[in-house]
Structure 1
């Protein structure tokens, strides 16, 4: 339920009340007041969220009308009293005009926006430099990437070229500030090598596209839902949107400062993938909930912008995914490591000489020209009754693992370290 205060010339208040009644308005009131120049009527209206845009459309025909929309939901309890519980449960999605106006409000201030972008750069640098994971979470919370990303989707759904341009500009300016801050700190403090957390966070999974798709849907739903109808806070969805933005932005700056261009490429891939994925699902959901090129008090939308912008988004997404899957394993390291681990465990479990204790598989960022190094550290224990020496077991199992991984089509150089562990001998009494 939304509350509106409508100001019209004296004598027009009755007509406003009739319009509100036709849209099932409740708790209506008309007051006579003195405006800055002439007497006026003030009308208090409470209507459901879905009726707000239609109410705006009908009030547009009145002369000299001024409308104040209170953006927060209100709870109207009116007779009969027995329906109060049902009235309290009457929570609906925001109207398209509210969603659009909230997007416009968020593109106003540059000073605070850039301040948050710089702060996130400092925090993400400290987290990556000191290998402190919780600082990356803090950087996600303060990174201002969610607003521009969602406004790109709103502009796409509305067909608003001006808002689309301003939102894309803010998105890349925020990224540039975060990247510049992280890079400057690495240069000032003379960072020479990539930290383990930088290497870990730069590795891309083959299912990386699912995160921005989910983030776009969650962000759109958060903006569409009334604040009292969602159990998920805006900060949580904003963090989801920034989850794969703040760390890659910091990695771009830090890796660029130390000349690790392989890390830079992987991080830039994630940044572009995030924006395209968010825009695709969020724009489609906004259209589903009623945002269109033409609306009340909104005339600058162009119907052709939506299919063009959406098609451009799909083309970017398809290009990025094609690049990801054609250039294996560069942009699939995380998921390929999991697959390789599964293959190694399967192979060892089928071996009659040993029992698997543990297998750790990961790609390294060793600067060895011409190879993609996959490091496998495997711990095994000999089975009871096996008389082969530890060296014989280690040698045969190492060769078997390397041969198997190459036969499975992994485009890697598998370096395998097998350790044969011995169980303690039972003491005889």
Structure 2
């Protein structure tokens, strides 16, 4: 349930009551308080009737330019309804005006947005450079990234081109700040290298796209049910793009084309997937535009869904290739390295140089340095362990570069 407090000039309350009664509002669901200073109409509304009532009231009365009128919408924390069955039968959804206000608040290029984006970019850039995951996660919570994307989706579904443009401008502002800060820290901090945190964002995969779709759907569902939902914090973390933006900047400072291209693919994939999921959930959850925006919204939704779907499909091609490389082709090599580290790396000062996997011929070539005294037993043991993990059809070959340990004695002259 939501509550509307509508104030009017003295005597206008009766007109408002007549309007809502014509819409099927029952006497028990509203209260009119009349006075010489003005009228107050309190309306208790079930969620699916909120938008209709608000549209009719705003169409009948000018709440913007008349000082005697105002319109406020409340969502109570606790409801003890007179007719519980009636409430349970209705769809629980935030009012369209509440969602629009959320979009406007989160798509304004204000000092607050710029400050939060700057702080988040600094934190995430440093977290990426020092390979500190908790620091990176902290920056995700601070970053004002999800709000502008949600605002764009709301603008599309409601046919509000101005809101769509505001959301896009806010998002591009955050992107510009994050990329710039990442590039600056990549330049001023010495010996920046491509560590695990950066490599993860350099090699996006199809699961990253699916995560963005799921996060966008969860975020839209949380918003349409309650714009103050606590689940939005988890969505913000899951859908966070600020580390990806900073990664692009760090890649620019390092002159690393692979880092720039990979992070850009991840950024575009997440952006399009989030937007697509949010639009679909809003649309199928019944978020409707005001009637004068209906025609614009219908065209905008259709075009947006086509563009976003095609974009996501196109992006799946390079992501599929990277996924194959990361999760299928390179998996045997990872297994061999793990077996080697666990079973063999500390024996007789051996050191692995490289691993080459030939899937077609089922050959595994290990190049390593080894002491001349190393027994063949160790190589047989490693071969058996690798075959146990990958299959007995693999042929394990060792290319051993012999080493010799020299411990010279140094005499100290008196």
TM-score bracket for this pair, using the shorter chain length: 0.7 to 0.9
Deviations 1:182-232 (A, max 9, x none): 21012122344223332244332332210110011011011111368x6x4
Q: Give the counterpart of 2:300 among 296, 305, 312.
A: 305
2:34 is paired with a residue of what secondary structure? strand
Match of 1:223 in 2: 223
Match of 1:255? Answer: 251
* CA distances 1:123-168 after superposition (whole Å, capped 9, x unpaired): 1122112221100110111111101111122122223332222212
Mapped to 1, the partners of 2:393 and 2:204 lie a distance apart of 20
The correspondence for 1:69, drawn from 69, 72, 81, is: 72
Over 3 Å counting, the alpha-carbon distance change for 1:23 and 1:76 in structure 2 is: farther
Report the equivalent of 2:406: none
1:340 counterpart = 2:329? no
Q: Which piece of structure 1 moves more, 10-19 or 389-398?
A: 389-398
- Report the secondary structure of 1:69's partner residue: strand
Q: What count of residue pairs does the alignment treat as equivalent?
A: 366
Aligned to 1:213: 213
- CA–CA distance in structure 1, aligned partners of residues 159 and 296 of structure 2: 5
Classify 1:298/1:72 alpha carbon distance in 2 versus 1 (closer, same or farther; 3 Å). Answer: farther
Of the three residues 39, 46, 49, the one matched with 1:48 is 46
What whole-Å deviation, never above 9, does each CA across 1:339-376 have from its counterpart, x for those lacking one?
4369869xx9xxxxx9x9699xxxxxx9xxxxxxxxx9
Quick one: structure 1 residues 88 and 208, their matched pair in 2 at CA, closer, same or farther if it must change by over 3 Å?
closer
Any stretches of 5+ residues in structure 2 without a counterpart?
Answer: 64-68, 346-352, 354-363, 367-374, 401-414
User: Does the Cα contact within 8 Å between 1:73 and 1:227 map onto a contact in 2?
Assistant: no
TM-aligned CA deviation for residue 319 of structure 1: 1.2
C-alpha change, 1:192 and 1:123, in structure 2 (3 Å) is closer
Call closer, same or farther: CA 1:32–1:184 in 2, change over 3 Å.
Answer: same
Partner residue of 1:426? none
Secondary structure of the 2:313 match is helix
Alpha-carbon distance in structure 2 between the residues aligned to 1:117 and 1:214: 24
Evaluate the alpha carbon distance shift between residue 75 and residue 183 of structure 1 in structure 2; reply closer, same or farther with a 3 A threshold.
same
User: RMSD between aligned alpha carbons?
Assistant: 4.2
1:75, 1:88 within 8 Å by CA — same for their partners in 2?
A: no
SS state at 1:216 partner? helix
Report the Cα offset of residue 247 of structure 1: 2.0
Q: Structure 1 residues 42 and 299 mapped into 2: Cα distance closer, same or farther (>3 Å)?
A: farther
Aligned to 2:178: 178
Higher helix share: 2
Gap runs ≥5 in structure 1: 349-353, 360-365, 367-375, 379-386, 408-413, 419-429
Change (3 A) 1:291 1:114: same
Q: Distance in 1 between matches of 2:329 and 2:175?
A: 29
Q: Cα offset for 1:114?
A: 1.2
**Partner in structure 2 of residue 389 of structure 1:** 377
Aligned counterparts of 1:404 and 1:116: Cα–Cα separation in 2: 56
**Deviation at 1:25?**
6.7
Between 1:151-160 and 1:59-68, the stretch displaced more is: 59-68
Q: Which residue of 2 aligns with 1:167?
A: 167
Q: CA offsets per residue over residues 226-279 of structure 1, 9 Å max, x none?
A: 368x6x43222222221xx12222211112111111111111111000111011
In 1, Cα distance between equivalents of 2:208 and 2:397: 26
The answer to whether the 8 Å contact 2:156/2:297 transfers is no
Q: TM-score by structure 2 length?
A: 0.74
Query: What do residues 406-429 of structure 1 show as CA deviations (whole Å, max 9, x unaligned)?
Result: 99xxxxxx99999xxxxxxxxxxx
Tell me if structure 2 keeps the 8 A contact 1:9–1:64.
no
Do the aligned residues in 1 keep the contact of 2:219 with 2:278 (CA within 8 Å)?
A: yes
What does residue 409 of structure 2 align with? none
TM-score normalised by structure 1 residue count? 0.72
CA contact (8 A) 2:99 2:227 kept: no
User: What is the CA distance between 1:116 and its match in structure 2?
Assistant: 1.1
Q: CA deviation at 1:398?
A: 8.1
